[in-house]
Structures are given as C-alpha cells and as structure tokens.
Chain A
Amino acid sequence: MSPGTPHADPARPAHRHRTRYLALLTAAAVALPLGLTACGGDDDKQSADPNRKIELQVFWWGGPARAENTQKVLDLYTQKHPNVTFKIEQQPNAGYFDKLATRAAGGNAPDIFQLDDGSLAEYAKRNVTLDLTKYVKNNKIDTKDIPKGLIDYGIVDGKNAGIAAAQNTPGMIYDKTVAQQYGLEEPKVGWSWEQMIAWGEQLSQKSGGQVQGIMDPSADYKALWLWLRQQDKELYTPDGKVAVSTEDVTRWFELWVDARKRKATPTADLIHTANTGDVSKQLVVTKQAGASFLWSNQLAELQKSTKNTLGVSAYPGDPKGQFARASLYWAGSRTTKEPDTVADVINFIVNDPDAAKIQGVERGLPSNLKNREIVAPTLSAPEKATVALESELNSKFGKAPPVPPKGHVKLRSELITAAETVQYGKATPQQAAEDFLAKAKAAVSG
C-alpha cells in the first residue's frame, strides 16, 4: 500500500510492472556486453593464490526447511575452506525463474544455482550453465557412488549441465485415515488406473460425496508421461520433439471424462485450485479427495498440513513407467570467475557425508548411494515411507528418458489449460488434445 502517493490509482501496479520490464531491458542492454567481455578472459586466472578470498553467490528456491539446511551445508563448507564465503539468495518457487532469467540475461547469473528438469535444457541450450563435464571426468565432482541414470539425466547435448541434487519419482499420496474410515483397502504399487478410479468411485459413494474420490490427474504431465511409458510410448522423442499423438492425448482425456461421470473425481474448480495451487491446496490435504498425484518426497511436507495419516504409493499402472529422476540439480554459471571452486562446492553438497546428514531427504533421496545409508536412520516416519517406496521401486524402474527439452515448462502449462477445458466442459477430449498438441509442438520446437 502506498500512503505516500496522493493519487495512487489502479494503474500503478501495471505501470510499475512495465517500468520494471523496461528497466530490465536497459539492464540487459548495458550489462550484456559487459558480461560478454568479462567472460572472455576467464582461463588465465586459475593459477592464482589458492587461499585468495572467494565469494560465491548461491541461489535456490524452496521453503524454510530447505533454506535452513542449505545455509548450514554452505557454512560447513566455509568452515573447511575459510577463504570461501557465500552470498545467499533464496525465495519461494514463484518468481524464481523470472529473477534467474533476468540476472542471466544481464550477464550476472549467480555462481551456483538450483534448476529442475523443466528448466535444465532451457538454461543449458542457452549457454547459461557452466559445462561440468571436465570436473566429472577428472573426479573433481565424484560420481562413482551416484547411479549413472541420475548423472545422465543431467546431460544436455553431451555436456554435464547439472548435477543431480537428489532423486525422486512421481508419487501418489493418499489418505490412510479416510481409507480406513470407509473400509477401503490402501492403494498398492501396481494397481491399474481402472482399479484406482474404482477406488475413488467407492470413496465418493461411501462418504456420500464428502470426499470426492481422487484428484483428476489429467492435467499432470507426470501422470500422462507415466501412462504413456506404461504403453511403451514416450512424451518426447530422443531428439527432443513432442512424441505423443493426438489419439493418445484424446484417450487420456477420455479416461478422466469417464472417471468424472462415475463421480470418481472432484468438481472442476477444485481440480483447478489444486492444479495452480501449492502444497496446502492439494486435495488430499484439504480432505476433498482421497489421493493426490505429486512427488514421492512431498509426503513429509504434506503430512504437516493435515491431521489424517497419509501414505505414498506409485502412480497407478505398471511401475515400469516410473523412473528415477533428478528432483533438482545444482548448476554453475558459465560466467563465474571461479569455476573450479564452483565444482568443488557442488561436489561437497552432493557427496559429503556431513552435508548429506544436514540435508536429509528434503530435496529427495540423496544422489549418493552411500549417503542414502548414512541418512536413513535420521529420518521421520513419513520420510521413511518415501524411502521405502523408492527402494521398492528401485528394481522396477524403467529406463530414464533424456532430460525434457526446452519448452517443457510451456508444455506443462498448456496441458493444464487443455485438461481444464475438458473438465469444465468447454471442449471435447478430441478438441482439447488437438489444441494442446498444436501449442505444445510450437513451444517445444521454438
């Protein structure tokens, strides 16, 4: 609120937004050439004094728990290397990529930053990330205890663009208390989609509509992707094009139109709230549905928001559709002045046993298998359930696909829009599928 401006009118925020956008352009105009010249003469500085003072900027998104554990890990690094200090920036999910992109455009990206698989290819292809291949090869970043699939999932165009901070896999989080209350069996790994929909239908019936079945995951790209993989198809071709056909997407939407008719899924507006909303708006937490489709490592976080006991299982269908995935990556900036130190810090965060203990499974299972054992005894009950699920799935995981291509984020949001037009009855599955694919293909190719 702006008490200082006597003539504050509704235009101000819009105007401010534009000013920011314009300011950004100048910043970009001024800073880009500087950034370009600055990164020209990097290599000759490497032989400098090993004890020189180094300050690295580190940037990530996440909640308070992550802020705390990452800060502690970095403090620990400073303890061991007193000449290296960190300037930390962190913020909630919203706005993170706006900020990162603006800074990168200004040639001013943080030395170390967090990415996910929606953004890795985007940043790697646009040459923002530091090529870590050299450090992986000469073991400055030690990968011998990290599953190959996880490391490969950080490779873009043959280069190690990001190092997996942790591993997770899609997880269906369900309400144990509600299942018990209405005398329903708990969902199990390997249940078919049909079984899961029937479960939702029964829950809806037995609760008299109090609990509206299960979340409709037709807007969830993970669900669509796994469903495709269960039929030996993929969302993307190996060279990063959209692989899914109109027929498949239509069938996918039809599956959930059918579930809707059986009252196995909630009303469209509730689904919409969950689709755009955060953890606290997930229907399994608000008790409006018996199951939500999320990530396996989110169980602990969700459990904090409800008194009912939650459980986690795989997504329905053959678990071969699931794959071990890097939940998040650590990446370096191509314009950093201290690439060696950046690599060393990333190595420390990912591999150091003490660092692992501090981090627990907040970002997902530790990438380093030895650290998984070290961390195991320190976990809370919901965290243990997550680990148990991933251990169970470990032998069943299918081969991990390549990192999603540039444009993946857009595909995700277009799927939400398309699925919602079906849920709100604004389009038939066929129309929505065609519309979705047209937009998704444009975003992924462009």
Chain B
Amino acid sequence: MAVSAAVGPGRAGSTGKARRARWREGPAGYVFLSPFLLGFMGITAIPMLYSLYLSFTNYELLGQTYDWVGLRNYRDLFTNDPQFWHAVQVTVLFAFVAVPLKLAAALGVAMLLNRERRGTGVLRGLFYLPSLIGGSVAVAIIWRAMFDRTGAFNSLLAVFGVEGKPWVNDPDWALETLMLLAIWQFGAPMVIFLAGLKQVPTELYEAAAVDGAGPWRRFRNITLPMLSPVIFFNLVLETINGFQGFTSAFVLSDGTGGPTDSTLMYSLRLYDQAFTEYKMAYASAMAWVFLLAIGLLTVLLFSTGRLWVHYADEEGA
C-alpha cells in the first residue's frame, strides 16, 4: 500500500518529509488497532467508567432514576452492611489459604516433572488439564457431586473406615472444598514454573553438588532465588485470580453463597446485589472498592517483591 511505501524512505529524507510520513502512518495504525480499540472502549473502558458514575447514584437495574447521592453507597458499604464484611472475610480467607497452597503444589509437581524421563510429557499434560477445565461449570457440578454426603470422596474414605462429612453441604467444610477445587487447578502456574526451572543453569547445581550441598541446600540457595521472578509473577497472578473467584462458588452453592453464607465470596455478593436485589449502583460501588483493594494488594506485593525477588540480569549489571 501507499502507506508502507512512504514509510521506508521517510526516515532517510528531510525532517518535514518524516513528519508527514509519521502523520500518515498514525491513522493507519489506529485503523489496524480499531478492532481492539472498539472492543476495549466499548466493552471495558466506557462501561467501567460508567459504573464509576453509577456508583455515585441511586440507579437500580429496573429503575429509571439516576439521582446523584454522592458517597452514600460507599458509606453504606463500610458502615451499614455486615454481609459486605462477611464476604470480605470469606474472600480473604479463601485467597490466603488457596493461593499459597496452589503455588506450593505447582512448584512441587513442576520440580518432579522437570527431570526428563519417559512419560513426563504425558504427565505434564495431565497435570495441566485441570487448569483448562477446572474453572468450568461442569467441573464445579462434578465437584459438588464428589464431595456430597454420598459422593465418591466419602466412598473412598469408607474404604479406610473413615466416616466422611457432607463436605459441600457442611458450613464448616464448604469453603475448604472450594479451596481444594482451586488448588487442584495448579497446572497453569506449574507450566510457568517448569519454564522457569529450565532456565536455571545446570552448572550452578553441579558446582553446588561438588561443594557438598545437599538437595535442600540446592533448593534453598539455587532454585528458589533463581526462580523468584517466576514465583513473583505467579503469586501476583494467582492472588488476583483467587480474589475474583466466582464460578465454582456460584455453582456449588446454587448462587446463594451457602450453606449459611459460608461460601459467600465477594464477587458472589456483588452479583447478588446487582441481579437479585437489582441494586446496580450499590453493586457498582462494590466493584470499585474491589478493584481498588486488588490494586492496592498488587502494589503491596510489588513493593515487598523488591526485597526477595532476584533478577539475574540485574546481577550482571
């Protein structure tokens, strides 16, 4: 096209020519970007900003009023809604238990699968599989059936003479069952860990072994520091994911967050406010508090990250 023809010589020519070329290059760039831009503006940016506006109004899903109420929704949220705090508690507990365990499982299995043996390829695939399907509704339904009073898990326990519980239907165990489902999907961070492990130079291990370092020392002093950027990456990603957990909690509790609100995740409460109680403005406020909280947590992770994340290329500089 004419555009690409003009771009090449533009650089070598006079500054005026270059500016003109750049000017001509700009619109073309935006045209090529437009599928993304339209989607991003239409489906993400504008609605998000609109929800920010809504959060300062009294808009209800089926209502027609958009009266400005200032910070009332936010004030109600923090001072007048025990369910909100309950949901925060459930979500934080969920994320703080499920995420570290999931990462530990991912790292552990990644290290086992790091050695090239026959069948490791197949095993990697198998361990990765839950990550592909684990977030789906179908798996949540199967999970619910497995961890019911008469489910497969209790049948397994019965073989060992242990009497099970109605896990998903027991308020003391329902959240733990959800955590287990999240941990089971450790495949995605595992693959990333595997890639990270491949990057660790084998000479380091060899040298350490010659110096008499045992497996634990090698893990502590070589694997962990070398892997720390990857651990950090997974930690940030999984923490954000953990906080946003919705599908499995929704399916396991039929959308109620039950039994007795024990699985009332933040996003579930948000959905309930928006679509069952039709309080769209209030739900928008919840969404923005959520966004800020996750943002803050991510900033916090990044600032602590400086203390323990070790980048090999910084070392060289």
Which A residues form the contact surface with B (CB < 8 A)? Answer: 1-3, 7-15, 17-19, 21-26, 28-29, 32, 36, 94, 97-98, 101-102, 104-105, 122-123, 126-128, 267-270, 272-273, 276-277, 409-410, 413, 416-417, 420-421, 424, 426, 439, 443, 446
Asked if B260 is at the interface (CB within 8 A of a chain A CB), the reply is yes
Asked if B43 is at the interface (CB within 8 A of a chain A CB), the reply is yes
Decide: A17 near B169, CB < 8 A? Known: A22-B47, A36-B64.
no
Asked if B223 is at the interface (CB within 8 A of a chain A CB), the reply is no
A259 to B240, alpha carbons, bound, how many Å? Answer: 46
Q: Are B136 and A276 in contact (CB under 8 A)?
A: no
Which B residues form the contact surface with A (CB < 8 A)? Answer: 42-44, 46-48, 50-51, 54, 60-64, 83, 131-138, 148-149, 166, 169-171, 182, 185, 188, 237, 240-241, 244-247, 253-256, 258-261, 267, 271, 274-280, 284, 287
- CB-based nearest B residue for A99: B275
SS of A interface (majority): helix
Decide: A104 near B62, CB < 8 A? Known: A10-B182, A22-B47, A416-B258.
yes
How many A-B pairs have beta carbons closer than 8 Å: the answer is: 154
Smallest beta-carbon distance A104→chain B, Å = 5
Q: Are B132 and A14 in contact (CB under 8 A)?
A: no
Q: Which of A8, A14, A26, A439 contacts B244 (CB 8 A)?
A: A14
Smallest beta-carbon distance A20→chain B, Å = 10
Smallest beta-carbon distance B136→chain A, Å = 6
Q: Which of B171, B241, B261 contacts A11 (CB 8 A)?
A: B241
A89 to B208, alpha carbons, bound, how many Å? Answer: 68
Q: Which of B43, B254, B280 contacts A19 (CB 8 A)?
A: B43
Q: Are A443 and B131 in contact (CB under 8 A)?
A: no
19 A-B contacts (beta carbon < 8 Å): A9-B131, A10-B185, A10-B241, A12-B135, A25-B284, A28-B61, A29-B46, A98-B275, A127-B64, A268-B259, A272-B258, A273-B169, A276-B253, A276-B256, A276-B258, A413-B276, A420-B259, A426-B171, A443-B277
Q: Which of B241, B256, B278 contacts A101 (CB 8 A)?
A: B278
Question: Which of A10, A18, A101, A439 has most B Cβ within 10 Å?
Answer: A10
Decide: A417 near B135, CB < 8 A? Known: A9-B188, A26-B42, A26-B46.
no
Q: Which residues of B contact A28 (CB under 8 A)?
A: 61, 280
A26 to B54, alpha carbons, bound, how many Å? Answer: 12
Q: Which of B48, B131, B138, B245 contacts A22 (CB 8 A)?
A: B48
A383 to B181, alpha carbons, bound, how many Å? Answer: 43
Q: Which of A29, A128, A267 contacts B47 (CB 8 A)?
A: A29
